[in-house]
Structure 1
Amino acid sequence: MTAEYRIAENRLGGERTLVVSAPDGTARAVLALSGATLLSWQVRSEATGRLTELTDGYRDDKELLVQDGVRAGLLAPFPNRVADGRYHHADQDHDLLPGHHGDRLIYHGFAREAPFELAHATTTADSARLLLHTTSIRPGRYPGYPFAIDLAVEYTLTARELGITIRATNVGGSTAPYAAGWHPYFTLSRPIDDLTLHIPAHTLIRTDAALIPLPGEDALLPLDNCPGMDFRTPKQLSDAVIDACYADLTPGPAGRIETVLTNSATGEELRVWQHSGYMHVFTGDTLARDRRASIALEPVETMTNAFNRPEHAAALALEPGRSRAFAFGVEYAVP
């Protein structure tokens, strides 16, 4: 009988986890049910022949609870910031931080802290698929978001690739603003300075000092006018400090948009893929621990503060009874 991928229950301190392992020892992933959060992704390295950690996730349950850096967080119903924690939708004003008069920073939605359960799993000799589900986003649960959204997250693990699909279904009676994304940190060496980055983007999103995009067309800066932030030709990160969103992404020959991180010394690559949306890049300079030990390459459906941008209203609108999915993932490769 051919051995199949295995899924085992475990714990990270007080948090329940799922451990997914390839039968031949080529891949391993650990997921926390809290937030359906990826804690670890290991692949057998072509350079060493051993399982190698390719992500920089939460190390213990305390880090997972604090959410510093939003390590591998699933971002829904909005990625990145909502300016001043307020937005206007369907002729109504909404306040995500009612009663807060000082720091009104809110970012990356609620899914990253929501309780998920394993709804279904399928294993074969070549892959494992896990479907996790939550019904926690409901009116009255999260201030300023009076909508009912079911979230289903499918993880697919193979020997060299991790794929994720977030599917949202509006189970309420009114149209909801909604967008998704992912906030993983990757590394092929520490620090990241010697790694090479390639982003197939033609536009940089310009922001103010609070990292909120400028109004209208002022937010769109052609990368021809910003060579220091242009990674259309792969180049070494060196000491670049980046916390920025890239737009107008170009698909490759296979139809997938790929942002590629390369260790030139070993030839190893991480190809972060998506089919649409934007790519947000953060070099980890302000993390509470291990600054610049990893780089966040974040596939997102929309730019920051999309809830307050009229040009995004139609794309955000999730009507009652309708579902929308956002798919992305990462592949380990040695060309």
Structure 2
Amino acid sequence: MDFISGDQITLTSGEQTATIATVGAALREYVVGGREVVIPFPADELPAAFHGMVLAPWPNRLRDGKYTFDGEELQVPVSEPGRGTALHGLVSWANWSVDSVSETAVTLAYELPASPGYPFQLALAITYALGEDGLTITTVARNVGARALPYGLGFHPWFAPGGTPVDRCTLQLDASSRVTVDDRLLPTGSVPVDGDFDLRAAWSLDGVAFDDAWVDVIPDGQGRSWARLGWADGSTVEIWAGPEAKAWQVCTGDVVEGVHRAGVAIEPMTCIADAFRTGDDLITLEPGAEHTFVWGMRLV
């Protein structure tokens, strides 16, 4: 690897440019017409706050790093000691291999080795592709082992605010409930959206701080749910996810080291935090089974 973030693959299509870093299969840059859609990070620096990375085999937090699957009690490393949780899975800091690459698309692959805390064999392949509809990301997960495995997936892009403070942006999100949490940001339930949390219509982010999840997504006619970050100049970053996305996480980064409200993380997920313990929307992959998750973004 030439850089801390791994090898760099740059894709181009018309006015679009995307750079993918092999560490974490991270979306390091996405620029449309010279405008940053995601906040870039330097190739030779550690990205702050899981910037652009893949979150698997679970997104968000796992209480105490402990869970039970198929009658077996398991313990993964606690990676967020301040809250006593295992954060964002096991593949974010892995160096993925490049399976195929063209001018407009790249596929990266990683096979997660079995470990005491996750004694399963999971193969992942992620394709980033530029096209007329923006940037599309497709993830295929496959159980290559001999036993069933638990699985969840999320992504962690930090979206740029269009050259102005986040307070001048708006946010719209297709979801009708929000997740309530305890002081460790672990779920305690869900309630209908109201006030600042009702994002079904565009809502000003002026003075609003989020590190929250939304569920009960509202699909369109194609089964997609959408998030829309409105910029002050009238442009909009549109983020969509297919029916496999059961939740969205939004973080304004107010107290996140290296972010401090420089942008907004808008994260499509197959499940919310602690799904390995609660079973809520947890995916079980049988031997040989696959799961596909598709989402994307565009600037309009």
Look up the match of 1:4.
Answer: none
Contact 1:147 1:172 in 2 (8 A): yes
| Structure 2 residue corresponding to 1:27, chosen from 16, 27, 30 | 16
Separation in structure 2 between the aligned mates of residue 101 and residue 80 of structure 1, nearest angstrom: 14
Q: Deviations over 1:218-274 (max 9, x none)?
A: x12011xx32311112111001110100011112344421111111x3211111100
Contact 1:38 1:72 in 2 (8 A): yes
Look up the match of 1:63.
Answer: 46
Separation in structure 2 between the aligned mates of residue 169 and residue 193 of structure 1, nearest angstrom: 41
Contact 2:271 2:280 in 1 (8 A): no
| Structure 2 residue corresponding to 1:248, chosen from 216, 225, 230 | 216
Contact 1:189 1:195 in 2 (8 A): no
Q: Is 2:262 the counterpart of 1:293?
A: yes
CA displacement at 1:329 relative to structure 2? 1.1
CA displacement at 1:115 relative to structure 2? 1.7
Structure showing greater Rg? 1
**Which has the larger share of strand?**
2
Q: Is 2:127 the counterpart of 1:154?
A: yes
Look up the match of 2:37.
Answer: 54
TM-score by length of 2: 0.92
CA displacement at 1:56 relative to structure 2? 1.4
Structure 2 counterpart of 1:208, one-letter code: D
Q: Deviations over 1:29-55 (max 9, x none)?
A: 1111111111100001xxxxxx11111
Contact 1:131 1:155 in 2 (8 A): yes
Separation in structure 2 between the aligned mates of residue 150 and residue 75 of structure 1, nearest angstrom: 14
| Unmatched 5+ stretches in structure 1 | 1-9, 45-50
Contact 1:190 1:294 in 2 (8 A): no
Q: What's the secondary structure of 2:45's corresponding residue?
A: helix
TM-score by length of 1: 0.83
CA displacement at 1:282 relative to structure 2? 0.3
Question: How large is the RMSD of aligned CA atoms in angstroms?
Answer: 2.1
Separation in structure 2 between the aligned mates of residue 301 and residue 246 of structure 1, nearest angstrom: 12
Give the share of equivalent positions with the same residue, in percent: 28
Look up the match of 1:279.
Answer: 248
Q: Deviations over 1:80-113 (max 9, x none)?
A: 0001110011101101128x99863221112211
| Structure 2 residue corresponding to 1:139, chosen from 90, 114, 125 | 114
Q: What's the secondary structure of 1:307's corresponding residue?
A: helix
Separation in structure 1 between the aligned mates of residue 63 and residue 90 of structure 2, nearest angstrom: 16
Look up the match of 2:88.
Answer: 108
**Which has the larger share of helix?**
1
